[in-house]
Structure 1
Amino acid sequence: MTTNLNKKKLFIGGEWQEANQYYDLLSPFSRKAIAQVPLAEKETVLKAIECARYGAKEMKKLTALERSNILARAAEIFEKRFEECAFTLAKENAKPLKAARGEIERTIETYKFAAEEAKRIYGETIPMDAAKSGKGRFAYTKREPLGIIAAITPFNFPFNLVAHKLGPAFAAGNAVVLKPASQTPLSAFITAEIFEEAGLPKGALNVVTGKGSVIGDVLITDSRIKMVTFTGSVEVGLGIKEKAGLKKVTLELGSNSAVIVDSVNDIDAVVSRCVEGSFAYAGQVCISLQRIYVHEDLYDEFIHKFIENTKQLKIGDPESESTDLSALIHIKEAERVEKWVEVARKEGTEIAYGGTRTGAILLPTIIKNVKPTQALSCQEAFAPIVSVNSYKTWDEAIDLVNDSLYGLQAGVYTTSMSKAFEAVERLEVGGVIVNDIPSFRVDQMPYGGVKNSGTGREGVKYSVEEMTELKLAVFIL
């Protein structure tokens, strides 16, 4: 254990508290220790839940305007601490500064959306006299907060994906117990500092860091928790679903997103977007572009320009202003995908570019004509790797995209309006992006998938609906 590092504390009941044990947080890029992070024990998590119960009562007392103002102040403080937040991302999850700044901009925007949404949580009147026995009665609905929400978040967008859970939860008047990914706790602690300064009631946010096997099971099974919102792997998501009982559960579980390039007006612009979608943040994005299906008439030109464009990417230190791509979150992840590439190579699949690894850095990798059964196609890579296949017919392209256990988002490039609408109808995904890559997301849109990509929707308005309960009132006039 390193002793001269910045020693962090748990945030429970509005107080910063030390733990009995700590672990050294290592930079994914340099592998140097950057902080000491507390390991929460079961008793600590139970205390956090009890504090959240008090916090939930205080949140429910706040007016819509008061909740909105807290979220707006948090967004303002994030703006003041912008560069600090961006460099924190570069250190704890090796996100290049250009991408890190983009995440902080989206985080601020997400909290602003939440501040606005807090003011428009509506009910409706019910026309009771539409039923024979409803004459002489008046009814309306209202939305009420659930109480305590457990938020379990991933490493890849530790500010903005936390915002997608905290923002709507606070807008609706809930309290949250947040368990951030073990590799990215620093962003969660900064978020807690910001909400403390913004005037969030004590107990409304509690941050517990440590082992998922210790913290996760307590949060999922405790009866005081009314909802679990989780972003992560299919395996963990299935475990949560099995253990959660009657709790509400929202799961965002990833994908192997695909795009169809059928017909285009500007192939250079399409290539540029596809390179961005494939390799941004080293492919560690739930909607990272992993499969590209190009019409055979465009294929040769597309693959040539795609390789040349990829060669221009700058690889290196995430704290450098020019870096486009850096280390994966852990060397084991780079080794895993490297093995997938070697298996594909032995099976005769052509590695058109990349495929080599140095430590935790995997070169951006382009593979031609991958078989649908190979791991590089049918499993989620979560790495800077993409397959580029050709197809003959439109029906074939649709079938290739749908031949997946996942269904988060898909993209389609076409100059045909009828094909665009047909793609929306036929593609088995939660979102179809027409004339852009599936990696496109703005933070007010509904976001979520089908099949093994999860259940429920994020996007501030839609999360508020998930995080509230509908109550009916009926009056005899």
Structure 2
Amino acid sequence: MKMFCAGQWQDTTQTINVTNSFDQSIIDTIPRGSSEDVTNAVTVLEQGARIMKAMTPYDRSLILQKVSELMLERSEDLARTISLEEGKVLAESQVETMRSAEVIRLSGEEARRMTGEMIPLEGNAGGKNKLGFTLRVPCGIVAAITPFNFPLNLVCHKVGPAIAAGNAILLKPASDTPLSALKLTEILLEAGLPPEAIACITGPGGEIGQAICTEPRIRKISFTGSYEVGAKICEMAGMKRVTMELGSNSPVVIMDDADLEKAATAITMAGYANAGQVCISAQRILTSSAIKTDFVDLLKSKVESLTTGNQLDESTKIGPMVRETDAARVEEWVNEAISQGARLVSGGERQGAIYTPTILDETRPEMLVVKDEIFGPAVALSYFDDVNEAITMANDTTYGLAAGIFTQDVDRAMKFARQVDSGNIHINWSSQWRADAMPYGGLKHSGTGKEGPKYAIHEMSEEKMVVMHLAD
């Protein structure tokens, strides 16, 4: 596929292969964009930002509504594209496609609800005959840098609100999974988005990312990815507005009064969906010592029923990881934990980019599988004696994106909710659950700002204060 830059579809001399990680077959080739392409794109996007600002929220909402409809019409092709380039099983890609269309629809609805507020200036000394209100206005040009693991939905979470707020947008998709974003760009243009208002530049993240961060005409950057890259973006971005959706190593607490069947089912989904390549995957499974054996046996039986293989095969539950090097890293971390005393309950085998669903028991805080983000199909079990110890263990991390607890005790549940440092808290579910309309974002090294169309629109617009000085 070509990339869309400076108002037109373009090729470049150098290209990048997009491959299927299951069999290494080449799906397509994409242009290898450069910093010069960013400069050229932004020059046209400046005009696009003026067009979008002048467009009424109603008209922007109509475009987004049309985009959502076209996505649903092409859902089969979009889902297959996601599976081919990312490696997730087709059933998960179909869910992602439906959610992505919903995000665009919600963004269109929220475009119609952009509003400021009345400020009661007459309630202040010297405020007589002063009428105050705020206006929300577009940032101008928004840059969206997106990851591989949800190559359509996380793109939509940035593109939809950016357009709804009246911005032009520069999209930089992950080099491993650019095809979904390019197909979305085609749909956006077909739905009536002005060609000056969008660019989708493919190529190396380092060069293009640096060009985006240092380009003074870009006002806002929305990034989803690792903490290390996010920190570098913030250093380079200067006075730009930023939203950072970063990593995690989510804790899930299983109390002694938990519904073990429900907990084991949720962990089996949350620890291994998309081969564990989800920011809010359940990773640290903190379990009451009182139910240790029962829970491990139950979880083992469920996890061992997960089949691995070709992501396009309907019988496959876990597809390949996006790169073989990522599977090799997971293998290395698991083997290191075993050498440090962890017990392998299940899995622990690799074939190319496929890593079997793995359970590690008796893990400790200093192990990589506990203290860092494994981003693969493995969970690490450790144990506690009471809820206070569980909360301390849950907070023993630099991350704070999502956490869950299973308990029938409302006091324990609320103590967990109040004291655990996490942007998303789940009671009687795992860490991995997200409604696209809700405010979503992390604490600590898991990022800054919120996503979800309503909240992202706020992040992608700016506030102006208006004071009318009225005559007596």
Root-mean-square deviation (Å): 1.0
- Once residues 20 and 111 of structure 2 are traced to their aligned partners in structure 1, the CA distance between those partners, rounded to angstroms, is 37
Distance in 2, Cα, partners of 1:267 & 1:42: 53
Q: Is the 8 A contact 1:263 1:415 kept in 2?
A: no
**CA deviation string 1:55-77 (max 9, x = no partner):** 11111111111011111100000
**1:62 — aligned with what?**
55
Report whether the alignment pairs 1:291 with 2:284.
yes
Distance in 2 (alpha carbons) for counterparts of 1:459 and 1:254: 17
- Which stretch shifts more, 344-353 or 156-165? 344-353
Q: Which amino acid aligns with 1:330?
A: R
What amino acid is the match of 1:304?
D
Q: Partners of 2:259 and 2:253 in 1: how far apart?
A: 15
Aligned residue runs from structure 1 range 258-407, under 5 A: 258-264=251-257, 266-407=259-400
Is the CA contact (8 Å cut-off) linking 2:341 and 2:362 kept in structure 1?
no
SS where residue 170 of structure 2 aligns? strand
Distance 1:298 1:342 in 2: 26
| CA distance in structure 2 between the partners assigned to 1:475 and 1:21 by the alignment | 57
Aligned counterpart for 2:459 among listed residues 436, 456, 466? 466
Unaligned runs of 5+ in 2: none
Q: Say which of 8, 15, 19 aligns to 2:8.
A: 15
- Structure 1 residue 149: deviation in Å? 0.6
How far off its partner does 1:390 sit?
2.2
Deviates more, 1:268-277 or 1:175-184: 268-277
Alpha-carbon shift at residue 90 of structure 1 (Å): 1.1
Asked if the contact 2:133/2:467 (under 8 Å) is kept, the reply is yes
Give yes or no for contact 1:14–1:196 (8 Å, CA) kept in 2. Answer: no
Q: CA deviation at 1:136?
A: 1.1
How many angstroms does 1:20 deviate by?
2.0
Is 2:426 aligned against 1:426?
no
Name the CA distance, whole Å, in 2 between partners of 1:23 and 1:412: 43
Could you tell me whether the CA contact under 8 Å between 1:230 and 1:252 is conserved in 2? Answer: yes
Bigger shift: 385-394 or 166-175?
385-394
Contact 2:259 2:406 in 1 (8 A): no
Pick one of 83, 88, 101 that aligns with 1:90: 83
- 1:50 corresponding residue in structure 2: 43
Q: Which amino acid in the other structure matches residue 151 of structure 2? A: P
- Is 1:100 the equivalent of 2:93? yes
2:31 to 38, 57, 66: 38
Q: Take 2:257 and 2:340, find their aligned partners in 1: how far apart are those partners?
A: 33
1:264 and 1:279 map into 2 onto residues whose CA distance is: 25
1:415 to 1:69, Cα distance in 2 relative to 1, 3 A: same
Deviations 1:372-406 (A, max 9, x none): 11000000000000012221111111011000111
**Residues 1:113 and 2:106 aligned together:** yes
1:92 is matched by which residue type in structure 2?
E
> 3-state DSSP class of the match of 2:126?
helix
CA distance in 1, matches of 2:319, 2:128: 67
State how far apart, in whole Å, the 1-side matches of 2:230 and 2:17 are.
27
1:142 aligns with 2:135: yes
- Aligned pair partner of 1:128 in 121, 126, 130: 121
Aligned partners of 2:323 and 2:104: how far apart in 1? 30
Aligned to 1:155: 148
Match of 1:243 in 2: 236
TM-score (normalised: structure 1)? 0.97
For the residue of structure 2 that corresponds to 1:72, the secondary structure is: helix
SS of corresponding position for 1:473: strand
Within the alignment, does 1:211 sit opposite 2:204 as a pair? yes
| 1:451 Cα offset (Å) | 1.2
Structure 1 residue 264 displacement after superposition: 4.5
The CA deviation string for residues 100-129 of structure 1, in whole angstroms up to 9 with x for no partner, is 011111101111110110011111111111
**Which residue pairs with 1:5 in the alignment?**
none
SS at match of 1:135: coil
Work out the CA distance in 1 between the residues paired with 2:290 and 2:331. Answer: 31
Structure 2 CA distance for partners of 1:259 and 1:265, relative to 1, 3 Å: closer
Q: Work out the CA distance in 2 between the residues paired with 1:451 and 1:266.
A: 30
- Deviations 1:395-450 (CA, angstroms, capped at 9, x unpaired): 11101100011110100111111111111110011111111111010101111111
The code of the aligned residue for 2:385 comes to K
Looking at structure 1, the residues matched to 285 and 335 of structure 2 have their Cα atoms a distance apart, in angstroms, of 20
Distance 2:38 2:13 in 1: 13
Distance 1:203 1:92 in 2: 28
Structure 1 residue aligned with 2:68: 75
Distance across 1 between alignment mates of 2:443 and 2:79: 32
1:36 shift after superposition: 1.1
- Structure 1 segments of 4+ aligned residues over 3 angstroms from their partners: 263-266
Q: What amino acid is aligned across from residue 164 of structure 1 in structure 2?
A: H
Q: Which residue of 2 aligns with 1:173?
A: 166
Take 2:341 and 2:289, find their aligned partners in 1: how far apart are those partners?
Answer: 21
Distance (whole Å) between structure 2 residues aligned to residue 470 and residue 457 of structure 1: 17
Contact 1:151 1:228 in 2 (8 A): yes
TM-score by length of 2: 0.98
Letter in 1 for 2:219: K
Equivalent residues of 2:259, 2:407 under 8 A apart: no
Q: 1:265 to 1:336 in 2, by over 3 A?
A: closer
Tell me by how many angstroms 1:133 deviates.
0.9
SS where residue 403 of structure 2 aligns? strand
Q: How many residues align?
A: 470
C-alpha distance in 1, partners of 2:291/2:460? 46
Q: Within 5 Å, which residues of 2 pair with 1:177-216?
A: 177-216=170-209
Letter in 2 for 1:119: R
- What's the counterpart of residue 26 of structure 1? 19
- Indicate if the aligned counterparts of 2:341 and 2:363 stay in contact, CA closer than 8 A: no
Separation in 2 of the partners of 1:466 and 1:41? 27
